[in-house]
Chains A and B, each alone.
Chain A
């Protein structure tokens, strides 16, 4: 569900009934903490532009600053409504901080709020992305042979080097993807800064999503090989 075109701009204070901007944390009228009804996305919640490059020191500062505003410790003597609001807002802040802190989960989250989320984990890991078909095919053939070798009782020093060799091209692919993700992230930020139109943004996001899914697939492959090596 893509809702960014109709996203609400106002929320209602449950203490005094006044309207407040959706990204406000405290009611401008009665100054009480707002319950987490309508709220902005993680970027907006932390007062950050919806961009992929985030100054980590700024993020940490915002996190500490907002924690100091609505941590449950500071609402211990408040009424139950405010206590609940503080718990909800702190939980959401902690989720936002954790998600935005990591560059990969940040991309994943951006894709989600832009309506381009991968459909469930199946799509993310099971299907071979078309761009990787060739490498994956070659790797699987090699892996099958190595497995046969191992089943036949071959000592590790005969198949381990082979396994190491087999993963080299995939590792190169991963490095390539990391740098592509980096480049696409910069393109996205530039498009946001230049206030580019929907089509142009969409194109960057689609490319970002495809590289992102491929990267996940590659990572899963490499984790599998790692497990084989250590077995």
Chain B
């Protein structure tokens, strides 16, 4: 039987988890790392790199490396014009259409970039299951998480990414809700929980009631454009302003290349991390204290509190009525964030589970519920935004209110304005504002096939269905004739089914190149670890003695020359040469390894003898 997994497709990092014997676990690489940076890079030869390797390429080939792409999911170019300047890669696309990201000579939509990350996670999981001895290690189904405040277009884009990566997306679930599932596992608690989720690019707050194993979301709020990225940009701008000051120019040249911008980005991120457990660090060659950091980022942290208050009001609670507060997302490691959350709710928030991993664990639990029919727990989520249609004068008429438990339905009656009119235009939007122009346009469609009648006579009932994924579908029926209407939905910022299909085929076409890239990366990793072990041995304190007593006269020299050779070929991208030199180094150091092994065994045995005497 093929495998199912839970995937947290994050702005900064992504993870994959699975359930074994009722307990969820993150799938890690050999070094124990569970995070796959959500970074995709493509070199001149068209080879695709994902994760750590791609992240490294930000410093050498920034223009061909995409990150934080989640911010662009389900968006149009006009939504992100202000922030596009912060990114080293090309961001384009036609007005009113989906965003295009340019890496080298190729162009990708955000779902395609995300699909590379998903495919990497799929491979990681498949490798893991194969190692576990699974007969069928294929991973073809997944639950993928999204921020609770994602709108329909953003959810659909995420589902499309899954499909392009060759995954059947069992369910799209909300990140804070997933986190609550992971937290609710060990403790069969009952009560009101607030989940505060501040990630790399998005902020969510959800208020839940947990009772009888039912996790019922009462309200949710957030900002899909607020997270650690904004803190980084703020710090970068602040350092940039410092550098531009007169008298500083000779010390540090202005930032010119995209790579130097990335270098600065890495430095501010490191400083941010440092200040989570230290009072001060250095940034831009000077002392940078936590107090200064906090006064800089206070406005960003403040922006999370409004949505918290709104969510509380929508759920009908005072902060003091919340029983437990759960922190999710890497940005909740920032002490100021913790302080402000604690002040708002008047209680210490939970952070027992790793805030980076808790969402993926919950997604795995939900995947398990879906495929096994396990009825111990049930997640009841809500739609974060009201769904409406455009009426006369550009006013929004709401059909499904925000915070309605999903699945949810709503319907609206339409008629014609002129005799024998056979179609009606309908514009669907999402948001809380009065005017259509202030809300998010989801789709426009034409109701066709209305039987010709006098104006005002047809009664077309349009049914809106939001499914358990929070994704909308529309059906319509003319009630007088009971004729089902055809609806062609043109998503405002999404891909058509045909486009998704074509991208899936494209990805197969490139799969061979991608496979070769994977082998190269694995070969390089292997070479690096052999090199590292060899260097360590050569630097061991007792090496001189070993060499004198047990090695051949030119043995060290031989090892050093092969080591240098491997180092050189590692700069290139010829996999076979790298593998050849890696093997050579392995062979050359075999005798040394044996000698060292013998010595340590001997030492251990003699130690034992001493004890026994």
Contact = CB atoms under 8 A, between A and B. Distances in A.
Interface of A: 60, 64, 67-68, 71-74, 76-77, 87, 90-92, 94-95, 97-98
Contacts of B404: 94, 98
B370 interface: yes
Given A73-B171, A90-B407, 20 more contacts: A60-B211, A64-B211, A64-B214, A64-B216, A67-B378, A67-B380, A68-B214, A72-B468, A73-B366, A74-B373, A76-B170, A76-B371, A77-B371, A77-B373, A87-B467, A94-B406, A94-B408, A97-B405, A98-B401, A98-B404
Nearest to A97: B405
B192 to A, nearest CB: 13
Interface string B401-444: 10011111100000000000000000000000000000000000
B407 A73 contact: no
Interface of B: 170-171, 211-212, 214, 216, 366, 369-371, 373, 375, 378-380, 401, 404-409, 465, 467-468
26 contacts: A60-B211, A64-B211, A64-B212, A64-B214, A67-B214, A67-B380, A68-B214, A68-B378, A72-B407, A72-B467, A72-B468, A73-B370, A73-B468, A74-B373, A76-B370, A76-B373, A87-B407, A87-B467, A90-B407, A91-B407, A94-B404, A94-B406, A94-B407, A95-B408, A95-B409, A98-B401
Nearest to B216: A64
B170 A91 contact: no
A91 B211 CA distance: 21
B378 A91 contact: no
Contacts of A95: 408-409
B181 to A, nearest CB: 12
Nearest to B405: A94
A150 to B, nearest CB: 22
A90 B467 CA distance: 10
For the complex of A and B, 8 pairs with smallest distance between CB atoms: A94-B405, A91-B409, A91-B407, A76-B370, A64-B214, A72-B468, A90-B407, A94-B408
A105 to B, nearest CB: 10
Contacts of B467: 72, 87
Contacts of B379: 73
A60 B380 CA distance: 13
Contacts of B407: 72, 87, 90-91, 94
A5 to B, nearest CB: 22
Given A71-B378, A71-B380, A91 B371 contact: no
A78 to B, nearest CB: 9
Contacts of B406: 94
A68 B379 CA distance: 10
B375 A68 contact: yes
B373 A91 contact: no
Nearest to A86: B407
Nearest to A75: B373
B1 to A, nearest CB: 12
Given A76-B370, A76-B373, A77-B371, A91 B465 contact: yes
Contacts of B366: 73
Most A CB atoms within 10 A — which of B371, B379, B380, B401?
B380
Given A64-B216, A67-B214, A94-B407, A73 B378 contact: yes
A94 B408 CA distance: 7
A68 B409 CA distance: 19
Nearest to A72: B468
B378 A87 contact: no
A87 B463 CA distance: 14
A100 B380 CA distance: 18
Contact of A74 (B212, B375, B405, B409): B375
Contacts of B405: 94, 97-98
B409 A92 contact: yes
Contacts of A97: 405
Contacts of B371: 76-77
Contacts of B378: 67-68, 71, 73-74
A221 to B, nearest CB: 18
A77 B467 CA distance: 16
Among the interface residues B211, B371, B378, B465, which one has the most CB atoms of the partner chain A within 10 A? B378
A96 B401 CA distance: 14
Contacts of A94: 404-408
B289 to A, nearest CB: 40
Contacts of B380: 67, 71
Contacts of A68: 214, 375, 378
Nearest to B380: A67
A156 B226 CA distance: 36
A77 B171 CA distance: 13
A68 B376 CA distance: 9
Nearest to B214: A64
A91 B370 CA distance: 18
Nearest to B382: A94
B53 to A, nearest CB: 36
Contacts of A73: 171, 366, 369-370, 378-379, 468
A94 B401 CA distance: 12
A73 B467 CA distance: 11
Nearest to A36: B409
A111 B465 CA distance: 25
A91 B408 contact: yes
A60 B467 CA distance: 21
A194 B143 CA distance: 52
A98 B366 CA distance: 25
A118 to B, nearest CB: 16
A71 B467 CA distance: 11
A95 B467 CA distance: 13
A45 to B, nearest CB: 14
Nearest to A89: B407
A60 B170 CA distance: 28
Contacts of B369: 73
Nearest to B468: A72
Contacts of A74: 373, 375, 378
A72 B469 CA distance: 10
Nearest to B404: A98
A77 B168 CA distance: 14
Nearest to B403: A98
A87 B406 CA distance: 10
A77 B378 CA distance: 16
Contacts of A76: 170, 370-371, 373
B409 to A, nearest CB: 4
A90 B375 CA distance: 16
A64 B407 CA distance: 14
Contacts of A71: 378, 380, 468
Contacts of A98: 401, 404-405
